[in-house]
């Protein structure tokens, strides 16, 4: 059963994820190349289904990822796609896309997502992601 707060610990192959219905925040920290991305991300998708039934006025996604494999990228696309539907309800969704200084590839990945959705992206260059 998913509650208002949902936490997944970070491992070497999967990110820490914190989801908070009350504050409308989704935090992703780490790298994402889980052995079974469908299984790993199914928990996030299930939580999002609950959240989307009654989203907050403002939703904030904090991305602090240093690597995404192809299947993780697909799941992120699906997550952003669901959040895009939230904007259509007149709600604001902001994605804070943190990337390490000099990591042009991750910055570019964020810009690719930005071009696909109506979400507000903020690009934040940092020395250390986590």
Q: Is the dihedral of CA 63, 110, 56, 75 positive or negative?
A: negative
The domain made up of 5-126 has a fold known as Transcription Regulator spoIIAA (3.30.750)
- Domain segments of the chain: what residues? 5-126
Q: Are 90 and 59 a contacting pair, CB within 8 Å? A: no
Q: Where are the alpha helices (H) located in 4-69, listed in sequence order?
A: 37-53
State both tokens at 85.
Answer: 């539907």
What's residue 3's pLDDT? Answer: 73
What's residue 28's pLDDT? Answer: 98
What's residue 1's pLDDT? Answer: 55
By the 10 Å C-beta count (0-12 exposed, 13-18 middle, 19+ buried), 35 is classed as exposed
- The model carries a pTM of 0.95
Q: Are 86 and 60 a contacting pair, CB within 8 Å? A: no
- Give the tens place of pLDDT for each residue, 59-102: 999 999 999 999 999 999 999 999 999 999 999 999 999 999 99
């Amino acid at each position: 059963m998913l509650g208002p707060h949902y936490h997944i610990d970070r491992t070497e192959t999967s990110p820490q994820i914190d989801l908070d219905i009350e504050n409308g925040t989704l935090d992703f920290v780490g790298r994402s190349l889980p052995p079974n991305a469908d299984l790993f991300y199914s928990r996030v998708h299930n939580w999002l289904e609950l959240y989307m039934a009654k989203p907050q006025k403002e939703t904030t996604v904090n991305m602090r990822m240093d690597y995404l494999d192809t299947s993780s990228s697909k799941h992120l696309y699906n997550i952003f796609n669901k959040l895009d539907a939230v904007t259509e309800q007149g709600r604001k969704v902001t994605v804070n896309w943190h990337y390490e200084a000099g990591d042009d590839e991750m910055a570019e990945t964020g810009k690719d997502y930005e071009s696909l959705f109506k979400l507000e992206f903020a690009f934040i260059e940092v020395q250390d992601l986590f």
